[in-house]
Amino acid sequence: MNIIRKEKRLCTCCMEEHEVSVVKYTDTAVFKDVTVEFEAVSNYCDLADEYYESAEMLAENDIAMKNAYRKKMGLLTTDEIISIRAKYGISQSDLCLLLGWGGKTITRYEGHQVQDNAHDSILKKLDADPEWFLNLLEKSRDQICPESFLKYQKTATQLYEVSGDSYLRKAIRAAYAKYIDNNNYNGNMKLNLDKVIDVIRYYANSGTVTALYKVKLMKLLWYADALSFKRFGHAVTGLVYRALPMGAVPVAYESIIDLNGIEYEEVEFEENTGYRFVSSDNHDYPSLNADDISVLETVIARFGKSTKAEIVKAMHDEKAYICTAKNDIIDFNYSLELSVK
């Protein structure tokens, strides 16, 4: 028994006025033929040596007992159901409408009624899949007030973008898994995607870097990591680079440029589409330290106004590129002889 607090008041157990303890203790109950233990809250009368519960405590303990059952059976608890609905910012009645359930179903599940396995699975899918929520929302468009529809749509779209970014990060990390312990390839730096994003944004926001298309960006990334390795013994980002015909290119570069926070626009040329990286309103770079910034400024001063052809030529003249076979990983030890100081 743990005493939460003590209050001097009329004790309805012994009908005397004295200091009454509010306590927590482990209780046991049987629900749907399953024995569960849960933390109960009760009043405790020292004079009578008895526990007694108010109406509010009875309700709270009932939910605690049923949540213990839910956990034991692998079901969502009331708080987890509430958090799913809160995540989308949707009302109980509108969520029931989306799911085709009775109007009070969610209210009951957030209270004293334990959901069945089928409804529990639906709620878990809703929690994990914002895209599905958006599909359900679109089907219910005519049944939800326009203002609420737009609010739910905006929130779910943001969640969908975040979840997509999470999957993308996992895929990139998977591509880098085999390099995680190879310091020659990662430049003594574990992959840090937040730094990758901030470096790309720093280049795009600099106001000095011109014509920041994909080929040029890939070289600017390598020069930053190589120069950092040369100066400080470690790269900035942890990216691993291959020696491709146009120079150094990070592993999984096509996925990296689609990470949240990186902005680019597609530019149509005669025979193909270019990706031009553009500035944003966000000029904060929380993952970059002073050493990182100094490296980026040096790279910008050297190559910021270079054309694609000029920076590719510079890359091809680096020992790191000359001594690496086509498509092989570039060893960071070559960075010690980098042309940039």
Query: pLDDT, tens digit, for every residue of 117-174?
Result: 999 999 999 998 999 999 999 999 999 999 999 999 999 998 988 888 888 999 999 9
One domain, residues 332 and 212: yes
Phi, psi of 10 (to 5 degrees): -70, 120
Which whole number is the average pLDDT over 262-274? 84
Regarding whether 262 and 141 lie in a shared domain, the answer is no
User: What pLDDT, in 10s, does the model give residues 283-337?
Assistant: 999 999 999 999 999 999 999 999 999 999 999 999 999 999 999 999 999 999 9
Predicted local confidence at residue 45, as pLDDT: 87
pLDDT for the residue 248: 97
- Residues 67, 82: one domain? no
Are 189 and 261 in the same domain?
yes
Give the domain extent around 289: 183-337
243 pLDDT band, cuts 50/70/90, is: very high
- 323: helix, strand or coil: coil
Residue 42 and residue 6 in one domain: yes
H runs (alpha helix) in 114-235: 117-128, 130-139, 146-176, 183-186, 193-205, 214-232
Tokens of 103: 């109007």
Compute CA distances 18 → 14, 15, 44, 167, 308, whole Å.
10, 9, 11, 59, 84
Residue 283: inside a domain, yes or no? yes
The pLDDT of residue 241: 98
158 with 196, same domain: the answer is no
The alpha carbon of 82 is separated from its chain's Cα centroid by a whole number of angstroms, namely 20
Residues with Cβ within 8 Å of 215's Cβ and at least 6 positions away in sequence, in order, are 246, 247, 308, 311, 312
User: Where are the extended beta strands (E) located within the chain?
Assistant: 2-11, 16-31, 34-45, 50-52, 241-244, 247-250, 264-268, 273-277
Half-sphere exposure of 290 (CA within 13 A, CB side): 0
Residue-wise pLDDT tens digits, 131-140: 999 999 999 9
> Does residue 324 share a domain with residue 189?
yes
Answer yes or no: is 246 within a domain: yes
Residue 241, amino acid: Y
Q: Does residue 170 sit within a domain?
A: no
Could you tell me if residue 159 is left (phi over 0), alpha (psi between -120 and 50 degrees) or otherwise beta?
alpha
Q: Does residue 198 share a domain with residue 69?
A: no
Residue whose C-alpha is closest to residue 1's, from 33, 35, 49, 62: 49
In this structure, is residue 176 part of a structural domain?
no
Instruction: Give the Cα separation of 220 and 223 in Å (integer).
Output: 5
Check residue 36 and report its DSSP letter. Answer: E
What pLDDT does residue 268 have?
83
- Give the range among 13-17, 86-90, 189-193, 288-292 with minimum mean pLDDT: 13-17
Copy the structure tokens of residue 118.
Answer: 């089928």
* Residue 100 and residue 63 in one domain: no
Instruction: Clarify whether residues 321 and 194 are in a common domain.
Output: yes
Please count the structural domains in the chain.
3
Check whether residue 82 and residue 69 sit in a common domain.
Answer: no
